[in-house]
Amino acid sequence: MKTVALELEDGIAWVAMSRPDKKNAISVEMAREMAELMDRLETDERCQVLVLTGAGESFSAGMDLKDYFRATDSATAVERARVYRLNASWQWRGLLHYPKPTIAMVNGWCFGGAFTPLAACDLAVAADEAVFGLSEINWGIIPAGVVCKAISTVMTQRDAMYYIMTGETFDGKRAAEMRLVNESVPRAQLHSRVGNLARVLMGKNPTVLRQAKTAFRYSSRMGWDEAADYLFAKSDQSTFMDPERGREEGMRQFLDEKSYKPGLGSYRRDKGGKR
Ligand code: COA
């Protein structure tokens, strides 16, 4: 891979957009490599949590203006649609439905199209020093691709409109204040904070984690009655699909063994089955 870097470390796949000389702007080649890598990691047991970040001082400067705008201006509608579909396959469809937990680690510059994978990850942690911007207005376009939609899932209307219309930048602390990211920490602590968070997720039952992600994403779009019915069925499906029978084990350790408090932490997974 030329534009994506992978480091596998104790269950964590650190996946970096990697074109540091171009501030990790997302090219067609990067989209292709990222889609391929995410597909491979889906079934790779060495990846239990996927962390999306950027190489060097940048998370990503957004879509590559040469590849996605200048080069496609002369392309046919069919060619343009193919390129956008490829990008969607990892930036949002792929990440939104990824079967493993995903964390965006925003280490630096984050502009325009980079907001899409950021919003599509389950969780996000930024460096205080990171610089974000919905810069499209500054160079004469709307936040297209699917940026407007992506940010509407994680930002309030007031905040989104403000930054869409002014194109002003903001830092990691402000991103955390607006809940665009879960939290921000000094850059020197970013890697270890994200590693710790990934390890918390790795301590949970992976089948239930996967089902919980889907349950939240879909039920949030439903009315109460549809959601109640769907979640009833989803809960049964989750229990049925769980090879470690977490629900029974969790209840047994709390009610019979009295060895833990579910309100304060997870059941012991080494005894319940596959870890
Ligand atoms: N698309 C294409 N190339 C990009 C790019 C992008 N989105 N962002 C950066 N680059 C290229 C620059 O053209 C430059 O290329 P060069 O070395 O061939 O001249 C190289 O990356 C380094 O960028 P540079 O602008 O010199 O770095 P900087 O540290 O001075 O500024 C940014 C960094 C991120 C503030 C600045 O590059 C920038 O504003 N980029 C565009 C951000 C943007 O609006 N993205 C939205 C796209 S949807």
**Mean pLDDT, the chain, as a whole number?**
95
Instruction: Answer whether 145 contacts ligand 1 (Cβ < 6 A).
Output: no
Cα–Cα nearest to 93, from 116, 77, 72: 116
DSSP-based three-state secondary structure for 131? strand
> What's the pLDDT score for residue 116?
98
Question: 33: exposed, middle or buried (C-beta count within 10 Å: 0-12, 13-18, 19+)?
Answer: buried
Mean pLDDT value of segment 182-204 = 98
Tell me which amino acid residue 38 is. Answer: M
Prediction pTM value: 0.96
Integer Cα distance of 140 and 210 in angstroms: 40
Q: In whole angstroms, what separates CA 186 from the centre of its chain?
A: 20
Beta strands in the chain (DSSP E): 4-9, 12-17, 49-54, 58-60, 102-106, 109-111, 123-127, 131-133, 169-171, 183-185
Q: Ligand 1 pocket test: which of 23, 107, 170 has the largest number of ligand atoms within 8 Å of its C-beta?
A: 23
Place of tokens 């990934």: 198
Q: Is 250 in the pocket of ligand 1 (CB under 6 A)?
A: no
- Whether the per-residue pLDDT at 275 is higher than 60: the answer is no
3-state DSSP assignment of residue 53: strand
Which residues, 6 or more positions from 176, have their beta carbon under 8 angstroms from its beta carbon?
A: 126, 182, 183, 184
Cα distance between residue 178 and residue 159, in whole Å: 7
Q: For ligand 1, atom 38, which residue shows the shortest CA distance? A: 61
Once rounded to an integer, what is the mean pLDDT over residues 200-217?
Answer: 96
Beta-strand pair 131-133/109-111 = parallel
CA 37 to CA 33: how far, in whole Å?
6
Residue 143 CA: nearest ligand 1 atom is: 48
- Domain 4-202 class in CATH: alpha beta
136-153 tens-digit pLDDT: 999 999 999 999 999 999
Q: How many helices (H) and strands (E) does the chain have?
A: 14, 10
